[in-house]
Amino acid sequence: GENVEQHPSTLSVQEGDSAVIKCTYSDSASNYFPWYKQELGKRPQLIIDIRSNVGEKKDQRIAVTLNKTAKHFSLHITETQPEDSAVYFCAASKGSGGYQKVTFGIGTKLQVIP
Amino acid sequence: DTAVSQTPKYLVTQMGNDKSIKCEQNLGHDTMYWYKQDSKKFLKIMFSYNNKELIINETVPNRFSPKSPDKAHLNLHINSLELGDSAVYFCASSQGGWAGANVLTFGAGSRLTVL
């Protein structure tokens, strides 16, 4: 089955600096890569996603890159703010028909220091 | 209007008891899931149902039994609770159908504590 590795497990940055979280996946058939943000005590929520036919996607201060050959993808957050502090999960997904199995990484706890 | 709602939010019980968690989604999604999040925050899929049919059944003890009476509901029943079952259980749903449509909408979570 799919295996998603994520690092670092914890990350502390000064407010205004950039943060980068990296993930690798094992199954070359995976074709969809979402990122979820989970604030303390709350539910995970999608922040950005990328499909396998796209190399990069940006949404304001966050961007995701995908290297299909190397089977890795990364989340970049620029100009970090205290409200970016949360646990971030990468995931890989593949499938057909009416469903896809989503495999999550272990999560990265990001702390933005004011 | 809550999209994915699960009850109860908190559940404290003794070892050996049986308990249920209920989940309902009003998004019209075809697929529903149960995820377990342990103390280290790892999100692990347990089950997935598509239109009331079980499609994913990970390596989960058979003390855990999901039930989907219709595509808007997915309940989780746990028999003979053990200490290791303590976790936050998240229900989720997705539309499915094609790559990229599998955006998961999570419920608020049910924190189960087994004493």
Q: What is the pLDDT of residues A35-85, one digit of tens each?
A: 999 999 999 999 999 988 889 999 999 999 999 999 999 999 999 999 999
Contact with chain A for residue B41, Cβ under 8 A: yes
Query: In the 8-state DSSP scheme, what is residue A89?
Result: E
Residues of B in contact with A98 (CB under 8 A): 30-31, 50-51, 55, 96-97
The total number of residues shown for chain B amounts to 115
Please report the sign of the dihedral spanned by the C-alpha atoms of residue A86, residue A38, residue A47, residue A66: positive
Q: Look at residue A82 and give its three-state secondary structure.
A: helix
Cis bond upstream, residue A114 (ω within 30) = no
Tell me: pLDDT of A97 over 70. Answer: no
| Residues in chain B where the model's pLDDT stays below 70 | 1, 96-101
Instruction: Name which of B50, B90, B103 is nearest A46 (Cβ-Cβ).
Output: B103
**Which pLDDT score is estimated for A51?**
87
Tell me: pLDDT of A108 over 80. Answer: yes
